[in-house]
């Protein structure tokens, strides 16, 4: 039986020290298994001897791409995937955390019908080497929980992955930012049959982790982008409601500040009536505030349209929503048959006002 061809994409940044032992371990698997393994290293200009090391080894099954002007784990992986000519692909870390001995099991899982395989610390038989500080552990837990809306995989943060190259054909705009290329591929390629193969995750022996605070910040953004992809309507609506809440605070603050400015300083606190000009100006400020953030975050998909048209449409529709809110709140709050009439009125009025403004804006102004 001919050996099955498999390409391992190995992203590296300053891993020259770790590479020799990893390559030796992969070579053992190569000799002992039914797999024709080749290794494609994507290095981001480490300048630490990685290039000369690979040149000296001169193994026909190892190739190296050096990116001179780019940095980033996910984008390096995607760059490597562009070059892959085999149907089966593996992605793993170069620091020795991921055991090459598990590669045959991941390919077997694909042949058994999985459309994506994750080397997992959290399934039965998987483990993590001791020595993870409480902080890194907590970090990993929080990140894993944040991935829950997208997949039920127990270790969605894993960077040890196997899949068929052809799944990339169905992929919708893959995001090259950040560290979590596995999560990104599972979601964007629409993989439903994900299998987890247990691994023992070893602590790196040499070199340093590149997981910085910035990487964690990028992960947060990544999760929001994924949510927009999987639940666009929900994200859009809740963002609109959240912006509306900040808008209410902006309204009250503006109202107080403007009233202060335009009433004479000699007037005592009690007899300052709020002039209508202050109310009008505060409404306008709050609406403009809402517009800026809603256009950016709640209606992110409609940035290509004319901004003046959007602004006027938004102001008109929100004015109707605000008037509806005002009348519902004031008429309900005087009712004697409704319990907690004031609060009920305010909540119902706001809810109806926000829902009206949102849906009419979506239908008429911010179209996809
Ligand atoms: N080309 C390239 N460019 N490679 C990079 C870059 C980069 O900017 N940043 C990191 N790498 C490579 C590293 O050289 C290593 O081979 C691999 O990506 C993982 O980087 P580490 O710095 O070792 O990351 P980690 O151990 O903190 O994170 C790993 O474990 C996590 C789970 O705890 C990764 O596998 C993560 O994907 C995984 O979520
Ligand atoms: Mn590592």
Residue nearest to atom 12 of ligand 1 (CA): 12
pLDDT band at 272 (very low <50, low <70, confident <90, very high): low
User: What gap in Å lies between CA 245 and CA 10, rounded to an integer?
Assistant: 46
Q: From its phi and psi, is residue 47 left (phi > 0), alpha (psi between -120 and 50) or beta?
A: left
Range of the domain at 269: 232-365
Neighbours of 298 (CB within 10 A): 24
Cα separations in angstroms, 253 against 94, 212, 314, 353? 54, 38, 22, 21
Ligand nearest to the CA of 204: 2
Q: Which atom of ligand 1 sits closest to the CA of residue 98?
A: 35
For residues 160 and 307, state if they share a domain. no
Mean of all residue pLDDT scores within the chain: 92
User: What gap in Å lies between CA 206 and CA 129, rounded to an integer?
Assistant: 15
For residues 219 and 241, state if they share a domain. no
Answer yes or no: is pLDDT of 284 > 90. yes
CATH code of the domain covering residue 137 = 3.90.550.10
Q: Kindly state if the Cβ of 44 falls inside 6 Å of ligand 1.
A: yes
Which among 201-210, 254-263, 276-285, 350-359 has the top mean pLDDT? 350-359
For 111-120, what is the mean pLDDT?
A: 97
Q: Is the model's pTM score more than 0.75? A: yes
Pairing verdict, β 4-12 and 127-128: unpaired
Please identify, among 183, 201, 230, the residue that sits at the C-terminal boundary of a domain: 230
For residues 178 and 309, state if they share a domain. no
For residues 179 and 75, state if they share a domain. yes
For residues 159 and 22, state if they share a domain. yes
For residues 238 and 360, state if they share a domain. yes
pLDDT band at 57 (very low <50, low <70, confident <90, very high): very high
Answer yes or no: is pLDDT of 267 > 90. no
Ligand 2 centroid, distance to 97 Cα (angstroms): 6
Answer yes or no: is pLDDT of 271 > 80. no
pLDDT band at 334 (very low <50, low <70, confident <90, very high): confident
User: What gap in Å lies between CA 168 and CA 148, rounded to an integer?
Assistant: 22
For residues 301 and 351, state if they share a domain. yes
The residues with which 37 forms a beta bridge, in sequence order, are 6
Q: Which of 54, 179, 209 most suits a substitution to test ligand 1, by most atoms within 8 Å of the C-beta?
A: 179
For residues 216 and 243, state if they share a domain. no
Q: What is the pLDDT of residues 119-164, one digit of tens each?
A: 999 999 999 987 778 888 888 899 999 999 999 999 999 999 999 9
User: What gap in Å lies between CA 295 and CA 303, rounded to an integer?
Assistant: 7
How many folded domains does the chain comprise? 2
135 vs 30, residue with greater confidence: 30
Q: Kindly state if the Cβ of 9 falls inside 6 Å of ligand 1.
A: no
Please identify, among 230, 250, 280, the residue that sits at the C-terminal boundary of a domain: 230
């Amino acid at each position: 039986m001919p050996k099955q061809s498999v390409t391992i994409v190995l992203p590296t940044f300053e891993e020259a020290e770790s590479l020799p032992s990893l390559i030796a371990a992969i070579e053992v698997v190569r000799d002992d298994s039914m797999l024709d393994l080749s290794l494609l290293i994507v290095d981001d200009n480490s300048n630490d001897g990685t290039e000369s090391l690979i040149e000296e080894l001169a193994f026909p099954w190892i190739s190296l791409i050096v990116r001179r002007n780019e940095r980033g784990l996910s984008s390096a992986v995607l760059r490597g995937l562009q070059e892959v000519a085999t149907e089966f692909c593996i992605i793993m870390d170069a620091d020795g955390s991921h055991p090459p001995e598990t590669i045959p099991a991941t390919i077997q899982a694909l042949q058994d019908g999985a459309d994506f395989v994750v080397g997992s610390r959290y399934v039965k038989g998987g483990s993590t080497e001791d020595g993870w500080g409480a902080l890194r552990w907590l970090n990993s837990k929080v990140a894993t929980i944040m991935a829950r809306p997208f997949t039920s995989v127990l270790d969605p943060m894993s960077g040890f992955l196997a899949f068929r190259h052809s799944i990339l054909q169905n992929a919708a705009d893959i995001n090259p930012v950040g560290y979590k290329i596995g999560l990104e591929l599972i979601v964007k390629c629409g993989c439903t049959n994900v299998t987890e193969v247990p691994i023992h995750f070893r602590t790196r022996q040499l070199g340093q982790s590149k997981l910085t605070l910035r990487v964690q910040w990028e992960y947060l953004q990544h999760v929001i982008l994924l949510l927009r992809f999987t639940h666009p309507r929900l994200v859009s609506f809740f963002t609109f409601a959240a912006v509306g809440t900040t808008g209410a605070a902006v309204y009250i603050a503006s109202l107080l500040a403007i009233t202060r400015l335009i009433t004479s300083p000699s007037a005592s606190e009690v007899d300052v009536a709020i002039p209508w000009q202050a109310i009008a100006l505060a409404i306008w400020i709050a609406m403009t505030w809402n517009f800026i953030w809603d256009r950016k975050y709640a209606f992110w998909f409609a940035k290509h349209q004319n901004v003046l048209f959007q602004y006027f449409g938004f102001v008109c529709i929100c004015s109707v929503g605000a008037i509806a809110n005002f009348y519902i709140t004031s008429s309900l709050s005087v009712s004697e048959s409704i319990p907690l009439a004031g609060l009920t009125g305010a909540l119902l009025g706001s809810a109806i006002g926000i829902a009206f403004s949102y849906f009419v804006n979506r239908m008429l102004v911010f179209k996809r």
